[in-house]
Copies of this chain bind each other. A is one copy, B any other.
Amino acid sequence: MPQLPCALRQTALIATLRQCRMFVGLPAEDLRTIAELTVLKALAKGDYLFHEGEPVAGFYIVQRGAINVHRVNAAGKEQVIRIFRPGDSLAEAALASHQGYPADARAEAASQVLLVQKTGFVELLRRHAELALRLLASMSFHLHDVVGQLDDLTLKDVETRLTHWLLKQCPETRPAGPMVIKLHHTKRVLAAELGTVSETLSRTLAKFKEQGLLKVDGSNLTVLDPARLRQLLQRHLGE
């Protein structure tokens, strides 16, 4: 990979930062300051970004690829907390933590991420309260997310969780017609995200298929009738 001239690299970096949810709308000067604190990291599929408990170098912004944040128990089973995609930031919470990173992070595919280094950034926060508020917002979003998962996993069965997940994939734009969902990973990963294993996922998909709710073709899922799926969810929650 050719090394870009320094100035060019800066501009490219700033462009990425600007697209990141957390920094959107920030004045150019601040972005420049932040850019000076960031380090570009390339990861091959399967590389670990950090492990649970490791000392905190900073937080990350995904530029390309996908980062799987998860916990493992001693038996080796993984519970996916979330998969982060380009534009997402992760591990902000670790900035203020004395406990190291709270989970493991691994590249689910070849990826490129920006590391925003802790030391400099905390200094910046100290002078720049507006930024701290954004960080708070971002963290509160993650917290909400994790809490949502928590009751998903404890209060609902796999069928319900899958239904829920499917509906989450086709938000906003709702032409009421069939709806194709492209899986970006293997079904094993989706299973882990749903807190189950691939066999059970496979069976549940099959069940939906024979009920005419779904068509499965490799990594393309087609929700044939979103409305009926939504009814199903209501029914499950309602009893």
Contact = CB atoms under 8 A, between A and B. Distances in A.
A122 B137 CA distance: 12
Interface stretch (A145-153, A201-209, A222-230): A145-153
B95 A136 contact: yes
Interface stretch (A70-78, A108-116, A180-188): A70-78
Contacts of A71: 147, 150-151, 155
Integer count of this chain's copies in the complex: 2
Given A150-B153, A154-B153, A141 B97 contact: yes
Contact of A129 (B72, B128, B154): B128
A200 interface: no
A103 B142 CA distance: 14
Interface residues of A, number: 49
A79 interface: yes
A136 B133 contact: no
A6 B102 CA distance: 44
- For the residues of A in contact with B, the DSSP-based class is helix
B135 A125 contact: no
A99 B97 CA distance: 24
A239 to B, nearest CB: 7
A98 B133 CA distance: 13
A79 B144 contact: no
A34 to B, nearest CB: 16
A195 interface: yes
Given A129-B128, A237-B73, A239-B74, A81 B150 contact: yes
A94 B195 CA distance: 27
A239 B75 contact: yes
B195 A93 contact: no
Nearest to A156: B73
A140 interface: yes
A20 interface: no
3 cross-chain pairs, A with B, having the tightest CB-CB distances, nearest first: A132-B132, A73-B155, A93-B140
Interface of A: 71-75, 77, 79, 81, 93-99, 102-103, 122, 125-130, 132-133, 135-137, 139-144, 146-151, 153-156, 195, 237-239
